[in-house]
Amino acid sequence: MGYVDYAAEGHVGIITINRPKALNALNEDVLRDIETAFDAVDCSEIRAVIVTGAGEKSFVAGADIAAMSTMTKEQGEHFGKFGNDIFRKIETFPVPVIAAVNGFALGGGNELAMCCDIRICSENAVFGQPEAGLGITPGFGGTQRLARLIGPGKAKEMVYGARNIKADEAYRVGLVNAVYPQEELMAAAMKLAQTIAKNAPIAVRNCKKAINEGLEVEMDRAIEIEEKLFGDCFETQDQKDGMTAFLEKRKVEAFHNR
């Protein structure tokens, strides 16, 4: 992977987009490296993943405009599908994914952050979908996820107006869960990831599946999805260990992902 680094610390995987001279902008090579990094995550060991950008200026400043500027209609559609397929893969990745947004998250960068389960950011973070000012629409899910996350009205204001928002407003409208000083961001992301990793991995994965799939269907069907995933947990050793520890008024020493 030329543009993306992957490392594991205990049960936490860290994926870093490493193209700082281009503000970590996305082209097909970077997107392919992101997919390769997620393919490298061993979900039998890794229980949460952090995605961030190299440097202090940018998470991902957007898609590579130079690469897009000469695309035909067919090439544009292909590029959109290429990115969307990878981002959807991240959105449905078995373990939770945390975006640690350390600066600009514009266009494809905001879209990458939005396909993660949880977003936290540094005080210098800037979010936006500037595509309408470039003569295009968001192409990697921006029109869909932004409206679902912050509501159609605010999303339309940002998308139609190609309007960026800073970290404090992103927190106020619910686009991010928390804002930290730049130097504290990765420590906060790691603390959150480790908190998730301490819980029963199969249960956490089932929670993610229940929330994601349930939001896409009507309530009666969503409840059925939850019931099935709830029942599946009772086949696990982690459920037995967790409930035994509770009844014995002690903490679980460790969940074993089985």
* Amino acid identity at 94: P
Per residue, what are the HEC states of the chain? CCCEEEEEECCEEEEEECCHHHCCCECHHHHHHHHHHHHCCCCCCCCEEEEEECCCCEEECCECHHHHCCCCHHHHHHHHHHHHHHHHHHHCCCCCEEEEECCEEECHHHHHHHCCCEEEEECCCEEECCHHHHCCCCCCCHHHHHHHHHCHHHHHHHHHCCCCEEHHHHHHCCCCCEEECHHHHHHHHHHHHHHHHCCCHHHHHHHHHHHHHHCCCCHHHHHHHHHHHHHHHCCCHHHHHHHHHHHCCCCCCCCCCC
Any catalytic annotation for residue 184? no
Which residue in the list 28, 131, 218, 227 is annotated as catalytic? 131
Q: Out of 9, 35, 91, 111, pick the active-site residue.
A: 111
State yes or no: is 77 an active-site residue.
no
User: Residue 195, Cβ neighbours under 10 Å: how many?
Assistant: 10
> Catalytic site residues?
111, 131
